[in-house]
Structure 1
Amino acid sequence: MPTVDRASYRNRGGFLQRLISAYKARRFFTKVGANLVVKASAEFRVVDHAVLEVGDNVTIQDYSFFQLTMPEPKVFIGNNTVIGRRSIITAKNRISIGNDVLIGSDVQIIDHGHGMRRDMPIRLQKADIGFVEIGDDVWIGAGAKILMNVKVGDGAVIGANSVVLTDIPEYAIAVGSPARVVKYRD
C-alpha cells in the first residue's frame, strides 16, 4: 500500500475538508473554480460588495488571513495557486495573483498603506490605495512582503523575507529588503 503524504499542500483532504471548503466558498467567495481547498483555520473579513475569485485547484493553507475592506476590494487568484500558512492578503482596491503561483508561509500582500502627512496624526489620515499584480509561475518565499503599486512578472522568484517595493521583471530572482534583482532564471 502506498504511503500518503498528509503534510503536502497537494493533499486535498477528506470529506470533512471538502465540507469546510464548500462552506467557506459559499460564504466568502464570489466565484470559485473546481477543487478549492480552504483550511478550517483560514480567516476572511470581507465587506458585502467585495470580489474574491479563485480558479481551479487553489489551496489556502492554515491560518491564512484575507481582509477585503473599503472602498472597492477585488482579489483574483488563478488556477493551481497555493497560499501558504499564516499568509495575509489585504485589499482595498485590487490584488491579482496569476496561475501556478506558490506563496510560502507568512507572506504579506498588501495593496495600500497609510498616509504620512505631518499636519495630522497618521491614524487619522486616509489610506493611500494602489494595486498588486503577480504574474503566472511565480514563487514567493516565506516571509516576503509585496507592497502596493508593484507588478511581479511571470516566472519571477521572490526570496524569503524580501520586501518588494518596485516592479520585478519576468523571470527575475529578487532578494533583500528592499528586494533587488540578483539574477534571472535559466
Structure 2
Amino acid sequence: MPTWVYRFLRWCPGILGLLLRQRLYPCLLGHCGRGVLIGRHVDLINPGGISLGDKVIVNDGARLDAGSHSGPDTAIDVADGAFIGADTLLAAGPGRLIVGEGSNIGSRCTIVAAGDVVLGHHSLLAGYCMIGDIPEAPAATAGHDPQIPTGPTDKPTIIIGPGCWLGLRSQVTAGVRIGQGVIVGAHALVTEPLPEFAIAVGRPATIKRMRP
C-alpha cells in the first residue's frame, strides 16, 4: 500500500474512515477478522506481525508495534471481541503479546512484551495500566515512546489469568503470574505472583483477602 494511501486512511474521519479501514487494512495486517473497527490516528508498526480477530475494536490514537518480528507466528495476537482503548500502546519485541478473547484494555495503557505477555480472556484493564518493564513509565505512557527492547531476551513471561481486573494506574512487572479472577486495586504495583481469586492492593501489592 502506498504511504500516501495509508496516511489518508489513518486520518480519514467518520463512518467513511471506519469503512475504508475495515476494507483495506486487511491487506496490511498478518490476519484481520470480520467486523474489525479501527479508529483514527492508529499507528500500525510492522503490521504484517499483527493479528486481529473478529469484532476487535481499536480506538483512536492507539499504537500496535510488532517491532522487527518475523516468522510464522504474529508478534501481537488480539483475539475475538477484544477492545483496545484510545492512546494505548501494545508493543511486542522480542517477546510476543497475546490478548485473550473479550478482553478490555482501557485508555492510555502501556504493554511492552520484552518477554512474552499473555492477557487471559475477558480480563479488564482500567486506564493508564502498565504491564512489563517500562523505563520512565509515566513519560512513556503520555508520549507513547518507551524504550522497547530489541534482539534476544531472557525476560520471563508475564501471565494475567482469565477474568482479572486491574485498577486505574496499576502496574505489573516482568515475570509476574496472576491467577484467574484476581482483582488488583488502583495504583497497585504487582511484583510477585498472585493466586487465583485474590484481591491485592498497595505498592508493592499485598493480598487483602480472597474472593468467594
TM-score, normalization by structure 1 = 0.77
Would you tell me which structure has more helix in proportion to its own residues?
2
- Note if 1:58 corresponds to 2:69: no
Matching residue of 2:183: 157
User: How far apart are 1:15 and its partner, in Å?
Assistant: 6.0
Q: Which of 38, 42, 45 is matched with 2:58 structurally?
A: 38
- Note if 1:172 corresponds to 2:198: yes
Matching residue of 1:6: none
CA distance in 1 between counterparts of 2:22 and 2:130 reads: 22
- Note if 1:77 corresponds to 2:103: no
State which drifts further: 72-81 or 25-34: 25-34
* Unaligned residue ranges in structure 2 (runs of 5+): 1-13, 30-43, 136-151
Q: Deviations over 1:64-96 (max 9, x none)?
A: 012223xx3200111110111000000122000
CA distance in 2 between counterparts of 1:59 and 1:74 reads: 18
CA distance in 1 between counterparts of 2:113 and 2:182 reads: 22
SS of the equivalent of 1:174 reads strand
Matching residue of 1:132: 158
Compared CA separation, residues 145 and 160, structure 1 to 2 (3 A): same
User: How far apart are 1:174 and its partner, in Å?
Assistant: 0.4
Question: Do the aligned partners of 1:112 and 1:148 also contact (CA within 8 Å) in 2?
Answer: no
Compared CA separation, residues 48 and 132, structure 1 to 2 (3 A): same
Question: Do the aligned partners of 2:115 and 2:154 also contact (CA within 8 Å) in 1?
Answer: no
Matching residue of 2:40: none
Question: Do the aligned partners of 1:92 and 1:112 also contact (CA within 8 Å) in 2?
Answer: no
CA distance in 2 between counterparts of 1:14 and 1:155 reads: 37
CA distance in 2 between counterparts of 1:41 and 1:112 reads: 20
TM-score, normalization by structure 2 = 0.68
CA distance in 1 between counterparts of 2:101 and 2:67 reads: 24
Q: Which of 84, 89, 92 is matched with 1:68 structurally?
A: 92
CA distance in 1 between counterparts of 2:116 and 2:96 reads: 5
Structure 1's consecutive aligned runs of 4 or more residues displaced over 2 angstroms after TM superposition are 13-25, 27-32
User: How far apart are 1:180 and its partner, in Å?
Assistant: 0.5
Question: Do the aligned partners of 1:73 and 1:91 also contact (CA within 8 Å) in 2?
Answer: yes
Matching residue of 2:123: 101
1:109 maps to a residue whose letter is I
User: How far apart are 1:112 and its partner, in Å?
Assistant: 7.3
1:31 maps to a residue whose letter is S
SS of the equivalent of 1:86 reads coil
Identical aligned residues as a percent: 26
Matching residue of 1:145: 171
Instruction: Calculate the aligned-residue CA RMSD, in Å.
Output: 2.7
Question: Do the aligned partners of 1:20 and 1:39 also contact (CA within 8 Å) in 2?
Answer: no
Matching residue of 2:141: none
Compared CA separation, residues 58 and 165, structure 1 to 2 (3 A): same
CA distance in 1 between counterparts of 2:87 and 2:173 reads: 20
